[in-house]
A and B are shown apart, each in its own frame.
Chain A
Amino acid sequence: MMKDSNGIMTKTSEHTMQINVGPQHPSTHGVLRMLVTLSGEQIIQIEPIIGYLHRGMEKMAETRTYLQYLPIVDRVDYLSGFFCSYAYISAIENLINTDIPIKAKYIRTLTMEMNRISSHLLWLGCYLLDLGATSPLFYTFIEREKILNIFEDLTGSRMMYNYYTFGGVKRDIEKELLIRIKNFSNEFLKAVREYEDLITNNPIFITRTKDIGILSKEDATEYSITGANLRACSIPKDLRKDSPYLIYNNLEFSVPIGTISDSHSRYLMRIKEMKESNKIINQCTDWLLSNIEDNEINTKINPLTIKPNGTALGEVESTRGLLQCYIEANGREFPNRIKWRTPSFYATQAINTIAKGFMLPDLMSIFGSLDIIMPEVDR
C-alpha cells in the first residue's frame, strides 16, 4: 500500500517502491517535492507536488498600491528579478499609456541581459553539481560575482534590485560602470569557452545527458513549455524576435535552436544563449557610451497618482521562458487582480512525461536541465 499526495491509499505492485524526493532534498533547487515510484531504480511515475514556497504573491497585490507592490515583484523569481520587475512595470505602463525614454530602454535591456547571464551561470553550476561535479559551481560563480558586483553598484542590491520604476529606471548608469561592463563582456567569452572545454565534450557528461529526458515537440506545445526548453526541440519561439519589446528591434542577435530536446541540447541552448546575451550587452554598452550626455532616464510619473482602469498584459522573455503579468485594474489605487504566468510552473508539470522510464540518477539530470526554480512556480 502507498499514499498518493492527497493521502489516499492505493495499492502498489510487489516490485515497486515509492520514495519522496524533496522538499528538503539537495537537488530540487528549492522546495519541490516529487513522489517517485520506482521499480528497482527505474522511474515508473513522478508526481510533482508544489506549494512549499508559496508566498501569496498574487493575493498580496490586491491589498497594496502599485508602488508598494513594486519591491515585492523582484521576489517572484529571485534569480532574475529584473525580468519580473519589467513584466509588472510594462503592464502598468501599458495601462497608463506611457512611453519611456530611449536611454531607459537601453539600460533595461542591458540589465536584463546581464541578469539572464547571471541566472544561467547559477543554473550551469548547480546543474553540474546535480550531476556530481563540484568544481564548475565555483568557476561559474567567479563570473556571476562580477555581474552581481556591477548590479550592486548600479542598483544598491545584489538580488532584489527594485531598480525599474514607472516610466523608466531609478538611477542613471555611470561611465566607469559602463567600462566595467564592457570589460566583463570582453572577458566573458573566454570564461564560456573554459566551461565548454570542461563540460560539453566530457564523455561522462555526455553519457549522463545525451538522449536522456527527451521532450517531444507535441508534448512541449501541449504543456505550453517556453524558453530554452521549447527552443531545444526546434520550435523557434522567442518573444524578443516574435514581438520585439524595448529596443530588441535595433539589436543584432540570433536565437539558438536545437533539434532534439534532450538534456544535452537543453544545456547547449543555455550556453549559446549566454553568448548571444553577451553580444546584446556589448551593443547596449556601446550605445550607452556614445550617448553618455543623454540624461533622460525617466518620464516623471508620480506613482501615487496611478489609478488606471482596464486590463493589461506585461510580457517578457525571461531566463526560463515566457513570463507574463496580467493586471486587472478598476480605477482604485490597488489592482483588482494580478496574475503571474511563470514558465517554470509549466515545465514542472511536464516532468512526469519526460522522465518516465528513465533511471533515478537521470531524474536529476532531467530536472536540472529544465531549469526549474521553485519561487517562480509557487509565487
Chain B
Amino acid sequence: MSIFNLIFVEYLLKFNILEWLIFVLWQIICFVFISLLMIFAVLFLVLFERKYLAFFTRRKGPNRVGLYGCLQTVADGIKILFKENITPKNADKFIYFVAPIIVFAPILTVYSLIPFSSDINSYKSDIGILLFMAILSLPITGILFAGYSSGNKYSLIGGMRSCIQAISSEIPIFLTLAGIVILTGSMNLNEIVKAQYSFLQWNIFPAILGFIIFFICSLITLNRIPFDFPEAESELVAGYNSEYSGMKFAMFFLGEYALTFIFSTYIATLFLGGYNSPFGFYMADLFDLRLITGELIRNIEQFFWLILKTFLLILIIMWIRAAYPRFKTDKTLELCWYIFIPLAIFNLFVLCIVQYFRESL
C-alpha cells in the first residue's frame, strides 16, 4: 500500500473523480514538490559551499545577510535579477539566448526521474537509468552553444573543452551503468533501489571500482574542480559564460549546483541503496504505525536517508574542490580512455562473476 493508493484511491474515488485524473494529479504534486526541493537545494548548496570552503581556509564566509549569512544567496539572487542583460555585438543572438535554457531545462527534468522515496517519484520510467544520462547530455550541448555563440575566443575554447569532457567521461559512465544493470536486473531506478533492500545488498560492495570510476567521471560531467576546464578562470577568464550577465548567467550558475545535487542523488540511488535505510528497517515499522500515518512517516524517513547520502557525497565533492588544483584537458582524456575504460570493463567482468555466484547460491 502506498500513500498514493491510500489517500487518492481510497478517499477521493468516493467523490467520483476519474482515476487517470488522480494519477496525473499525483505526478504533478510530486513534480511541484521536487521543483521546490530543487530550488531549496540550490539556494542551500550555494551558501553551504561558501561556508564549507570558508571553514577549510579558516575564514568566516558570508555572515552579514540574515542569521549567519543564511539569506546571502537570496540577496545575491535579487541583485542578479536587476543586472543588465548584455548581448555582445559579435554574438549569434538566437543561440546566445537559447543556450542557458538548454543548460537549465534538462537539469530540472531529470529531477522527476529520481525516486526520492517509494512514492515521491513523478516519472517511473522503465529505462530511467538511461534516460537520466540521455537527458543530461543536453546541458553539454548548451555549454557548447554558449561558448560558440558568445563571439569570444575564451568562451569558444571553454565550449570546446566541455565537449572533450563529454567525450571522455561518458563511455566509462555507461560501462559502469551496465554493471549496475547486471547486478540489479533492471533499468528502472525504482527497481534498482528495491534490489538494494539491506545494507550488504548495496551495489557499492561488489562494484566499489565502478563507484570510484563513476564518482570521478561525474566530477568531469559536473565541471567541478579538479575538472572545471570549461570555466578555468586562470586561463579562460570565466570560460563559456564569460559574456553572460544577469539572469542568463544565473541560469548557468544555479544549473551547475542543481546538477551537482541531482547527480549526487543519482550516485546514491545507484550505489548507496537509494532511499533505503542502512539499518534495514524504518522507525515507522518499530512503532507499528498503520495506514496514512505509517506510510507518511516511512516516506519521510526514506526521503531523509536519500538526502543524507546525497549530502555526504556533496561534502566529498566540495572537499575535493578545497584540496586539489585543476587537471588538464588532454590528461583527462588520457585518464578516461587509457585508465577508466579498461578498469570499467574489468569492473563489468567482476560484476558478471559476482552475479553468477549470487544467482547460483
Q: Which residues of A contact B (CB under 8 A)?
A: 17, 19, 25-27, 41, 128-135, 137-139, 142, 198, 202, 204-205, 207-208, 359-364
Contact = CB atoms under 8 A, between A and B. Distances in A.
B329 A359 contact: yes
B235 A17 contact: no
Given A19-B153, A138-B57, A202-B324, A25 B237 contact: yes
A363 B53 CA distance: 27
Given A41-B157, A208-B325, A359-B328, A26 B233 contact: yes
Contacts, number: 79
Contact of A128 (B232, B237, B321, B325): B325
B325 A205 contact: yes
Nearest to B234: A27
A207 B327 contact: yes
A19 B154 CA distance: 8
- Which label, helix, strand, loop or mixed, suits the secondary structure of the A interface? helix
A362 B232 CA distance: 12
B234 A131 contact: yes
Contacts of A198: 323
A129 B234 contact: yes
Interface string B35-63: 00000000000000000010011110000
Interface in B285-338: 321-331
A133 B323 CA distance: 7
Contacts of B172: none
A361 B232 contact: yes
A27 B235 contact: yes
A360 B325 CA distance: 16
A138 B53 CA distance: 11
Top 4 nearest A-B pairs by Cβ distance? A132-B326, A138-B57, A133-B325, A131-B325
A364 B229 CA distance: 13
Contacts of A202: 324-325
B256 interface: no
Contacts of B331: 207
B323 A208 contact: no
A362 B226 CA distance: 15
Given A19-B153, A142-B58, A198-B323, A26 B234 contact: yes
A132 B325 contact: yes
Contacts of B323: 133, 135, 198
B328 A138 contact: no
B225 interface: yes
Contacts of B243: none
Nearest to B225: A132
A207 B225 contact: no
B46 to A, nearest CB: 16
A357 to B, nearest CB: 13
A207 B335 CA distance: 12
Contact of A134 (B53, B154, B235, B327): B53
B170 interface: no
